[in-house]
Structure 1
Amino acid sequence: MRRDGKVENIAIEMARLNIDVLGISDTKIPGTGKIHTVKNCIVYYSGSDCSKERYGVAIAVSQRIEPAITNVIPISNRAMMLQINTKPRKLNVIQVYAPTADKDTAVVNDFYADVNKLYQLTKKKR
């Protein structure tokens, strides 16, 4: 997604296919933040602080969904969550980029710990 035109192409295809929420993996965008496209799409992304990002996740939403977004939770370059105020309940959209089987056990364990953090944030308060 770091190459010119990639984000705009995603926005065009989302509009063409009438998609309001789209999860994206392997974005290779460093840091966290959001990108506004000229095609009325907003891309929230989560990567590492390294300028040579190897992984990264993102969630793209149409402009009509953006006002309903209540929280963006970037956990790591492999996991993030968007919380959307829908009715009758809030919607949690989790995007992950799982490590492949050849990765170290520590990388896999970190990934599952990140997913667990997000999962804990989705539970109802009692």
Structure 2
Amino acid sequence: MKNDLLFTSNESKKRGYILLFLVVLIISVFIGLIIKKNSKGEKSYVKLKASVRLDNEKIIFTNKDTFDYIDAVMYVNNYYKLSGFSIKSGETNTFWTVQFFHPHGRNMGPNEKAYSFSITCDLYNEEKGIYQSKLK
């Protein structure tokens, strides 16, 4: 009778360990799936090769990369924005500062000094590009 109780106790321990192992395994799989899902949704940023200079009230921007910037969004002073265009590889574009608008509809005034410039864009390989510069 004593041996039967020991045997039952050992079986219960084995079942407990197996159950614990299965619970840990299931939780690990769920955590892995969540992490994988979140990492898929995030896009990596590629530092763009470009140049920008300020000439009075004009911003002159050159794409020095070997690929196009798709659906570009430019910012001046982190406040004014110009969006909705693409810039081809090697292309130089000139933008007037008054073309940049604040989200509330106010454009950058001709007497406001542009001190910083940034651009974000989509790239052909589903990555995002970014370029930032201080203007002199």
Q: Which has the larger radius of gyration?
A: 2
The normalised TM-score by structure 1 is: 0.25
Greater relative contact order (Cα < 8 A, sep 6+): 2
More helix by share: 2
